[in-house]
């Protein structure tokens, strides 16, 4: 069983919006923190942001490169995290991964990723 499964990727025009989902299973989702990471084709990994759990009021933090454009949220009732992406640019084209913060700064579970292509 794959702990994290991303969905919602696809083709979007520059300036458009897209919302990715990350469905979790096999662990206590409500107690976990979740991160989003992306990787452009042939490039390295880029940390995008994290959402904490209810105990910490679902606090979110973002990389400067996406602050103000991307929003992370979660629905503990459906064990799903989300990445809302607005004002998309061609340079946002990448595979987007969700990953669990396993504690001690370990990103222990990774999804297989969702491809987002921003192009006209």
Q: Which of 82, 71, 73 is nearest to 23 (CA)?
A: 82
Least distance from other proteins to the Cβ atom of residue 117, Å: 17
Q: How many residues does the chain have?
A: 120
Using rule CB under 8 A, residue 27 touches other proteins? no
| Distance between CA atoms of residues 83 and 65, nearest Å | 15
Contact letters (x/-) for other proteins, 44-63, by CB under 8 A? xxxx--x--------x-xxx
- State the number of CA atoms in the 13 A half-sphere of 60 facing the CB: 18
Q: What is the DSSP letter of 43?
A: S
Among 7, 15, 30, 108, binds other proteins (CB under 8 A): 108
Choose the stretch contacting other proteins; rule: CB under 8 A; options: 9-17, 22-30, 78-86, 98-106.
98-106
Instruction: Please report whether residue 97 would count as binding other proteins according to CB under 8 A.
Output: yes
| CA gap 41, 57 in Å, rounded | 35
Which residues would be at the binding site for other proteins (CB under 8 A)?
Answer: 35, 37, 44-47, 50, 59, 61-63, 97, 99, 102, 104-108, 110-113
């Amino acid at each position: 069983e794959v702990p994290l499964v991303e969905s919602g990727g696809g083709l979007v025009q520059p300036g458009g919006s897209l919302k990715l989902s990350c469905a979790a299973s096999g662990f206590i989702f409500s107690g976990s923190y979740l991160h989003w990471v992306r990787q452009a084709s042939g490039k390295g990994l880029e940390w995008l942001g994290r959402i904490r759990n209810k105990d910490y009021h679902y606090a979110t933090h973002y990389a400067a490169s996406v602050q103000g454009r991307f929003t992370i949220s979660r629905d503990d009732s459906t064990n799903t995290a989300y990445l809302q992406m607005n004002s998309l640019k061609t340079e946002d084209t990448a595979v987007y991964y969700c990953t669990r913060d396993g504690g001690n700064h370990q990103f222990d579970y990774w999804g297989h990723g969702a491809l987002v292509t921003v192009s006209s």
